[in-house]
Structure 1
Amino acid sequence: MDKLLEVQNLNIQFDIFGTHVQAVRGVDLELNVGETLAVVGESGSGKSVTSKAIMGLNPSPPGKVTAGKILFEGQDLVQYSQKQMQKIRGKEISMIFQDPMTALNPTMKIGKQIMEGLIKHQNMSKAEAKKRAIELLSLVGIPNPDKRVDEYPHQFSGGMRQRVVIAIALACNPKILIADEPTTALDVTIQAQILDLMRDIQKKTGTAIILITHDLGVVANLAQRVAVMYGGKIIETGTIDEIFYQPKHPYTWGLLSSMPKLHAKIDKLLAIPGTPPDLSDPPKGCPFAPRCPYAMKVCLDHMPSYTHISETQKTACWLLDERAPKVDPPKTVGVGGK
């Protein structure tokens, strides 16, 4: 497959009140044309910071890229100025934010908000842009788009507002769509509708998607590949089947074990004990070691390198070292499956 985006050894630091927070530490990611890559992990793992870095949206100061590259079609976006990034945002790479009410301007008609990018990036006239805005509203399933194009965000439900945000993101036919927790603020029924919509749009447009989420149920329904992130690092990557059915990292086991499963006879939901690491003083070894029931001394002292399980799966865990004791995943992993 053709590689569209490549993140290499990305390091991002936030300088806050004299403290250096290492939010992202040596992240490597790849996105191919037309695929969906899910980046999963707990809050604070660095998912959103990584996605915003691709768009050049992390506030600077206090945030800054201290090392690494973000290659989009061979060009390093880290070296781009804000003026250069303005030509990329919306046109080549777009983003769906998790809260549609704050993503939309409450004082502007939604049609005008869709038209802005079309006028700026596609050089359309206002009449052409409005016609395209109506088409986009129809594409994302808004009824009576010719009338609703002149309404304000407060006149739409939460699910409809998220559809409007998707319409704005798709307006200029971007090559990459970053969806940052796109269904978090929505109820389960609307979540399913939004996911179906994104899947349908990808089939029609061929847009590659980076899905940022902590919800593995969302991942199972949309992604082809998964990157598991913890403590500012990517600790495991693989295809959707490899991550759901053959995970190798104890943190991935914990995430899968904590998923509700309809057909499993479990009295209570399982949770990962402990808290994520303090990235103002990042651990020397594996970031998950203090919470890992299988941790060894080497886990605390040294970060493991990747072990390649297959051509598509790699995992950073000392348990995969030939000298480590053999540990099988808990029985709760894979119950109910994908």
Structure 2
Amino acid sequence: MGETILSVKDLHISFRTLDGKVSAVRGVTFDLKRGETLALVGESGSGKSVSMKAINRVLPGNTLYDQGEIIYEGQNLLKLSESAMEKIRGRKIAMIFQDPMTSLNPTMSVGKQIAESILIHEDMSREEALEQAVELMRLVGIRNPQESWKNYPHQFSGGMRQRVMIALSLACKPDILIADEPTTALDVTIQSQILDLIDDLKKQLNMSVIFITHDLGVVAHVADKVAVMYAGRIVEIGTAEEIFYNPQHPYTWGLICSMPSLDTKDAALYSIPGSPPNLLHVPQGDAFAPRNAYALEIDYEQQPPFFRVGNSATHYAATWLLAPEAPKVVPPAEILKRQDVFKHTYLLQI
């Protein structure tokens, strides 16, 4: 991988609500390298999307950026004016959202929408922008783009609409592409095609990609590095191989155990007991402790720091189980059954 292109440092974000202040992101830190795919994984409400929308400053007006920095090209994006962010948003850092029908304009042809995005950032004629839009549609695998650019979003299938969204996001050849659950609404075959497409485009354009997902199967398919989030914090981070083959945080164990394995038949899938905490009232200690069968007494008293896993320079987990004086705990045997999902996907890629 290349040099670090984005650094998020100790990011804290909250929302003002009628009930009080919701602490949605609580100290998120990570680096993204050029050409790297980082997957953010966790349950709904864990802070994945909020953290990533903060990068492009597209959060609602009741947002408070309490602390931290988001460094891109030597600048803290949280300190830039809105006019300065407009030169970065879409042009340097682009986003693909979950449902293209809510992101695309139903009254404008898809080709014109892509061309409009190009014209916002590039100095060219409408004819040149439309030619570039048609070429982008060809690049993302839309059939007969010379004619289909005239079509409206409702005339495309779900998978083709998502390809249009990818073309729209790539209009200015961004350095970073943030994909927020881009395949959730698609069937498995189309999902795989979209994931392969994003991976191919990443390599062609030397982009960095951040995937937001709750699906560990998607993570196994695309990620170089994985950050597991819970209750607004990253609780474990490492390479995809480290997270799948040597997970250390009990929450990561729970996520892996909840994956269907290749021999899963009619048996009920494992689910993590309990519910995530209400971040109107941030719990003392480790937020995962009430749901953690391996919780220690200290988990209810102090939030764990990050511990380095073995001699790895990339693998860290925020769990007291890694403290030198902690009792030795063996991960659930079910994890071994679920690792075949990653092994199967990984072998298909090499």
Report the TM-score, using the length of structure 1 for normalisation. Answer: 0.98
Instruction: Report percent identity of matched pairs.
Output: 55
CA distance in 2, matches of 1:115, 1:284: 51
CA contact (8 A) 2:256 2:338 kept: no
**Partner-residue secondary structure (3-state), 2:256:** helix
CA distances 1:248-295 after superposition (whole Å, capped 9, x unpaired):
000000000000011357822100000001101011211111100011
Q: Given residue 121 of structure 2, which amino acid in structure 1 is its aligned partner?
A: H
**Partner-residue secondary structure (3-state), 1:71:** strand
Name the structure 2 match of 1:219.
219
CA distances 1:20-72 after superposition (whole Å, capped 9, x unpaired):
00000010011000100000000000000001000100012x11211000001
Name the structure 1 match of 2:119.
119
Name the structure 2 match of 1:9.
10
CA distance in 2, matches of 1:54, 1:225: 18
CA distance in 1, matches of 2:48, 2:42: 7
1:156-167 equivalences in 2 (<5 Å) = 156-167=156-167
CA distance in 2, matches of 1:101, 1:160: 11
CA contact (8 A) 1:239 1:312 kept: yes
1:27 is aligned to 2:20 = no
1:276-287 equivalences in 2 (<5 Å) = 276-287=276-287
1:324 is aligned to 2:319 = no
CA distance in 2, matches of 1:74, 1:228: 26
Out of 230-239 and 194-203, give the one that drifted further: 194-203
Name the structure 1 match of 2:300.
300
CA distances 1:153-202 after superposition (whole Å, capped 9, x unpaired):
01111110000000000010000000000001111111011011111111
Q: Given residue 57 of structure 1, which amino acid in structure 2 is its aligned partner?
A: V
Report the TM-score, using the length of structure 2 for normalisation. Answer: 0.95
Deviation at 1:18, TM superposition (A): 4.3
Runs (5+) with no aligned partner, structure 1: none
Q: 1:248 to 1:88 in 2, by over 3 A?
A: same
Name the structure 1 match of 2:175.
175
Q: Given residue 144 of structure 1, which amino acid in structure 2 is its aligned partner?
A: N
1:246-261 equivalences in 2 (<5 Å) = 246-261=246-261
CA distances 1:107-162 after superposition (whole Å, capped 9, x unpaired):
11111110112111111210110000000000111001011111110111111000
Name the structure 1 match of 2:44.
43
Name the structure 2 match of 1:71.
71
CA distances 1:193-244 after superposition (whole Å, capped 9, x unpaired):
1011111111111110000000000010101000000000000000000000
CA distance in 2, matches of 1:215, 1:336: 13
Deviation at 1:245, TM superposition (A): 0.4
Q: Given residue 296 of structure 1, which amino acid in structure 2 is its aligned partner?
A: L
**Partner-residue secondary structure (3-state), 1:210:** strand
1:83-102 equivalences in 2 (<5 Å) = 83-102=83-102
Out of 223-232 and 328-337, give the one that drifted further: 328-337
Name the structure 1 match of 2:141.
141
**Partner-residue secondary structure (3-state), 1:8:** strand
CA contact (8 A) 1:37 1:227 kept: yes
Name the structure 2 match of 1:53.
54
CA contact (8 A) 1:93 1:178 kept: yes
CA distance in 1, matches of 2:263, 2:204: 34
Q: CA RMSD in A?
A: 1.0
Q: Given residue 184 of structure 2, which amino acid in structure 1 is its aligned partner?
A: T
Q: Given residue 335 of structure 1, which amino acid in structure 2 is its aligned partner?
A: K
CA distance in 1, matches of 2:74, 2:289: 36
CA contact (8 A) 1:7 1:71 kept: yes
CA distance in 2, matches of 1:18, 1:300: 25
CA contact (8 A) 2:257 2:338 kept: no
**Partner-residue secondary structure (3-state), 2:228:** strand
Out of 248-257 and 279-288, give the one that drifted further: 279-288
Deviation at 1:336, TM superposition (A): 4.1
1:175-214 equivalences in 2 (<5 Å) = 175-214=175-214
